[in-house]
Structures are given as structure tokens and as C-alpha cells.
Amino acid sequence: MKVLIATDKPFAQVAVDGILKVIAEAGLDLKLCEKYGSDKERLKRTAADVDAMIIRSDKIDAEIMDAAKNLKIIVRAGAGYDNVDLEAATERNICVMNTPGQNSNAVAELAFGMMVMAVRNFYNGTSGSELKGKKLGIHAYGNVGRNVARIAKGFGMEIYAFDAYCPKELIEADGVIPVESPEKLYETCNIVSIHIPATPGTRMSINYNLLNRMPKNGLIVNTARKEVINEIELVKVMEDRPDLKYVTDIMPDDHKELTEKFAGRYFTTPKKMGAQTAEANINAGIAAAQQIVGFLKDGCEKYRVNK
């Protein structure tokens, strides 16, 4: 049986080597399709004879599934699986899994890298401000949110969190103050770090009303998904509030407009970098390989995300 690593944004070589070891020890073969860009045909061709796929943010739709006639399992080496058509997978009896928690420290560390950069005015030589003593709002207290809280303590921040699903006792147990609504989080905190997944319920949910609640000199850090931001309203609120800053690890669709209008208040990485560390690649990649072996050999469906 064959396993394909299909990663337009490749893993570190050390992670590929680790995946190969797990796959080979299980008696499976490994194929690689990296940096295929917009060449979907290349991905379809490479996937034609594989039983399993390890992916990252790679978009896997019905067309690719149909091209991969033997496909039984797709493992998203990472947290968010909004890039996989789950319904199409279920219809074709393909199991989809993620690897929760495996890359969350890397994303959390990047959130702080971006935070420091923004409060130090993008290192432009002017006097900035410090994180110590500032109120940090964590929007969704999952694996990344918890790591953000852990690191924020080292910076001496006052930490708040909103999570629609996490019991407030769990948040409090980490020394974090739970708030009852996103509105409360945004109006309380100097800096908000976004960690909600992109779902039908969260898409474009971060809007003018929410962002405009932030105190003067508010900073929004988005290492989650661009889809959760209402970009038209982001532009509007940044026009109305020259004190706000937006930094993101996911290039917005209106990147050009944001760059032109908000120099010195807007920053995006050119390519999503949150999980792009050797450690995260190793953790998530090897977990994905092990989950594939467990599924193909023993039918283990832990971390399955489709029905």
C-alpha cells in the first residue's frame, strides 16, 4: 500500500525522513508531491495509486478524491481541516483525521513573535510599548490558545479568554480569566490573539462591531484563518480607528488595499508560517504517519473528523 505526502508547503527534510521511517517499518511505500502550486493535475496524477495521504493546508476536493481511486484515509498533519471536503470524503468512504495539538506550540510562539514586532512598531526605530502588564485576549481556548496563555505568563501579561465550548473551570485552572462573550473579550483586551477554526459559524464573525470595541491602540493578531475575518469591515474599522493594528499569518484577500492604506499598522507573512518549524513538522508529520498505519493495519479511527 502507498502513502502520499502531498504538501505544497513542504515539511522540513528531517520530518519527511521520520515519516518515511514509520511508513517503511509498517511495510508501506512512500511517495512525495511537494510544491505543486496551482498544478492540480500533478497532484491528481501522483495521488492516482495511493491508499493514504498526509496533507497540510492542501485543498483536497472531490475531484482529487475521484482521481485517487484507492484512497482510504487523508490525515491533515495539523489542526484545521477546513481545506478538506468532508462530505465528499464521507460519500467516498474516505476517513479524514487531523493531528490535534502537534503543531500548536509553533503557532503560539509565532503569535508572540508577531505581537512583539507590532508593539515595537515593526522595528522602525520609534519608541514602542511592552507586553508586560497588558491585557491579552485569547479568542478560543484550544490547543494553540492554551500555549499562548502559557507563554503570556512569562511576559507578565493579564490573560483573558473566550471559548464557546471550553468549560470556564478549565480556563480558570490555567490562571486565565474567562469572559462570557467575544464582545467582552475585545472591549477588555489591549491585544487579541485569534485562535478560532474556520467553520460555517465562525466565517467573517470578526467584524466591525467586535473590532471597534477594542481599547485605544488595540492590536489584533491572527494566526488562525483569514476566513474568520470580515475583511471589508476590517478595512472600515482601521479607517475609522487609526490607532488599531492588524497582524496576520494568513494573507488577506484584500492584502493590496490593506498595504496601501495602512502602512505601519498592517503586516502579513507572505506564506502561513505558524506551523513551519522543524519541531512542528516532525510532531504533526510523524503523528499523521502513525495514525495512517494504525488505520490501515488495525482500523483505528482515533482523531477521525468526518462521519
Residue 221, number of CB atoms within 10 A of its CB: 28
* Cross-strand bridge partners of residue 200: none
Q: Does 79 bind ligand 3PG (CB under 6 A)?
A: yes
d(CA 27, CA 2): 10
Closer CB to ligand 3PG, 56 or 134, in the complex = 56
Q: Where are the beta strands (DSSP E) in 35-149?
A: 52-55, 73-76, 95-98, 135-139
Among 18, 78, 137, 182, the residue binding ligand 3PG under the rule CB under 6 A is 78
Closer CB to ligand 3PG, 265 or 272, in the complex = 272
Closest distance between ligand 3PG and the C-beta of residue 230, in Å? 20
Residues 101-130: x/- map of binding to ligand 3PG (CB under 6 A)?
--x---------------------------
Closer CB to ligand 3PG, 244 or 250, in the complex = 250
d(CA 194, CA 225): 9
Closer CB to ligand 3PG, 97 or 214, in the complex = 97
Instruction: Pick left, alpha or beta for residue 292 (phi over 0 → left; psi -120 to 50 → alpha; otherwise beta).
Output: alpha
Q: Does 80 bind ligand 3PG (CB under 6 A)?
A: yes
Segment (H or E) for 209: helix 208-211
**How many residues contact ligand 3PG, by CB under 6 A?**
11
Q: Does 272 bind ligand 3PG (CB under 6 A)?
A: yes
End-to-end CA distance of the chain: 24
Touching ligand 3PG, residues 29-68 (CB under 6 A): 56-57
Closest distance between ligand 3PG and the C-beta of residue 225, in Å? 7
Quick check: helix, strand or coil at residue 4? strand
Q: Does 265 bind ligand 3PG (CB under 6 A)?
A: no
Q: Does 195 bind ligand 3PG (CB under 6 A)?
A: no
d(CA 11, CA 14): 8
Closest distance between ligand 3PG and the C-beta of residue 208, in Å? 25
Q: Where are the beta strands (DSSP E) in 12-139?
A: 29-34, 52-55, 73-76, 95-98, 135-139
Closest distance between ligand 3PG and the C-beta of residue 115, in Å? 17
The residues that touch ligand 3PG, with contacts defined as CB under 6 A, are 9, 56-57, 78-80, 103, 272, 274-276
